[in-house]
Amino acid sequence: MVSTLTRCVAIALFGLLVLAGTWRPAQAGTTSAFTLSPQSYAGSRERQYKVYVPDGIATPAPMVMALHGCQQTHDDVLRDWGLTAAADRFGFVLVAPFITSYDGLRNTNCWGFWLDQHRHQGRGEPEDLHQIARQVEARFGIDPRRRYVTGLSSGAAMAVVLSVTHNEYFAAAASASGLPYGEDAASVSFSGCPGSATFHAVSQVVADMRRERNASYAIPLLVLQNNVDCTVIQPAGRNLRDAQLQLNGDAAHDTPAEALARQRPCTPVNGPDYACQQSFYTVDAQPGSRSLVETVFYNGPTATPARGDTDHGHYWIGGQAGRDGNWALQRGPSYPDIVWDFFSRHAADTGGPTPPPPPPPPPPSCTSVVAAPGAHVGAGRATLGGFFNLRAISTGDLRDIGFAWDYFFTSVALHQGADGRWFVQPPAGCG
């Protein structure tokens, strides 16, 4: 009798948890922590990252790198975003890097997508993330045709950067409340709701993307955007869409009207759908063809349950297996399922061999110049960076050398490397 009663109570409690929406499937895998040591290229730093591998995963497996947003860490990604459960269901290796440390003036833990030193191949944060992905490949059985990257906010903007700087490496990318390549700090709104920001012309974004990428592969992009987001406001999502089409579409399919193949309500959703629509823009405007870009636009709430959030409609939606957390919601269009559906349809289709590695650099020039930070900026030895571009950043090792408008009060020595960039510390080979 007691045993029967116990079973009945357990079943009833389980049912209540499910009905209340608080139940989430337990993880069925292993999370491991790793560290990328600073590398030899400019702007590299130590980066911590975690890897979640589902039990019994088939190899070679897909890899999904997920980048946290400002005021978040990789633990928020693993705990709140519903991606570990998605990894269990769909069979992919989940990589969650942590920015760990950074240069310049930023909001806490922001990726530096607006800083020139962090949006080019072979340096800074994009190259560190590429090296993290390569370390994961060396440890686990990863399918080279199914390497993907996504993120939220500054992490989404950095995922877009990676889709340009390393489009020969990643198969597809997904941006959640992210920004177009090459945007600066003014593209983020700090004024509350409804928000105010300025954006580069789409033609400038396309020119910047074309100038940076070194492979012709048209990497597909998924754009997820809350239309009432007051931090990353529309038209950020539309600009991402239009830039992808202008860059990668042929002459007959390089506008939204020409490339649109179909639209549908977003699926799946956990609770309200917020009038979410998914639009498919394909290479030939035909349903079922390979996408150039897809958009997920909806009218979500601005307020969130987390006390520390800004209530600006700026968040990741984790779906049933997600959690209300820091800049994260559980209810709404299920990002993990929508993102994975997009990734699963877009394995790499490069059509050519992997390009050879670059040749080794020549020896350094060992030239040194002592000047004020502002003078270094004016001469091209440093660039503007930090919050609102108020700091001078050396072009080589990306060190903060002082106030960018200081022309008289301080002096800093910079040393030229072989590639013409300038360093606070003399390059290896210089006395």
**What are the pLDDT digits (tens) for 326-335?**
999 999 999 9
pLDDT tens column, 201-242: 999 999 999 999 988 899 999 999 999 999 999 999 999 999
Q: Which of 291, 387, 376, 378 is nearest to 341 (CA)?
A: 291
Residue 249 has pLDDT above 80, yes or no: yes
Q: Which of 377, 422, 378, 375 is nearest to 396 (CA)?
A: 422
What contacts 84, CB < 8 A, 6 or more positions away?
27, 29, 31, 52, 78, 94, 321
pLDDT tens column, 126-162: 999 999 999 999 999 999 999 999 999 999 999 999 9
Average pLDDT of the segment spanning 66-70: 98
Does the model's pTM come out above 0.85? no
Angle subtended at Cα 324 by Cα 322 and Cα 327, rounded to the nearest 5 degrees: 105
Residue type, 355: P
How far apart (Å, rounded) are the C-alpha atoms in residues 156 and 65? 11
| pLDDT, position 23 | 39
Q: CB neighbours (10 Å) of residue 356?
A: 6
Average pLDDT of the segment spanning 70-88: 97
Looking at the chain, the whole-number percentage of residues with pLDDT higher than 90 is 73
**49, 132 contact by CB (below 8 A):** yes
Which is higher by pLDDT, 18 or 84? 84
Angle subtended at Cα 355 by Cα 350 and Cα 356, rounded to the nearest 5 degrees: 160
The residue to which tokens 């709140």 are assigned: 80
| pLDDT, position 248 | 97
CB-based burial label for 190 (10 Å; 0-12, 13-18, 19+): middle
Average pLDDT of the segment spanning 42-46: 94
Minimum mean pLDDT range among 53-67, 123-137, 176-190, 339-353: 339-353
Token digits of residue 30: 């292993």
| pLDDT, position 429 | 66
Residue 291 has pLDDT above 50, yes or no: yes
Residue 430 has pLDDT above 60, yes or no: yes
Residue 15 has pLDDT above 60, yes or no: no
Assign domain 29-344 to its CATH architecture. 3-Layer(aba) Sandwich (3.40)
Token digits of residue 255: 């506008």
Q: What three-state secondary structure class fits 172? A: strand
Q: CB neighbours (10 Å) of residue 262?
A: 13
Token digits of residue 206: 């396309």
Residue 22 has pLDDT above 80, yes or no: no
Domain-by-domain residue ranges, the chain? Answer: 29-344, 368-423
**Run of H or E residues at 391:** strand 391-394
How far apart (Å, rounded) are the C-alpha atoms in residues 334 and 94? 17
Residues forming beta bridges with residue 32, ordered by sequence position: 51
| pLDDT, position 3 | 46
The mean pLDDT value of the chain amounts to: 89
Minimum mean pLDDT range among 104-113, 289-298, 310-319, 390-399: 390-399
| pLDDT, position 172 | 99
Q: How confident is the model at residue 364 (pLDDT cuts 50, 70, 90)?
A: low
The backbone torsions φ and ψ at residue 50, rounded to the nearest 5 degrees and listed phi first, read: -125, 150
Residue 26 DSSP class: P
Token digits of residue 225: 């955007």
**50, 78 contact by CB (below 8 A):** yes
How far apart (Å, rounded) are the C-alpha atoms in residues 84 and 206? 34
Average pLDDT of the segment spanning 189-212: 95
Residue 189 has pLDDT above 60, yes or no: yes
Token digits of residue 379: 């001469």
Which is higher by pLDDT, 403 or 146? 146
Residues forming beta bridges with residue 52, ordered by sequence position: 31, 94
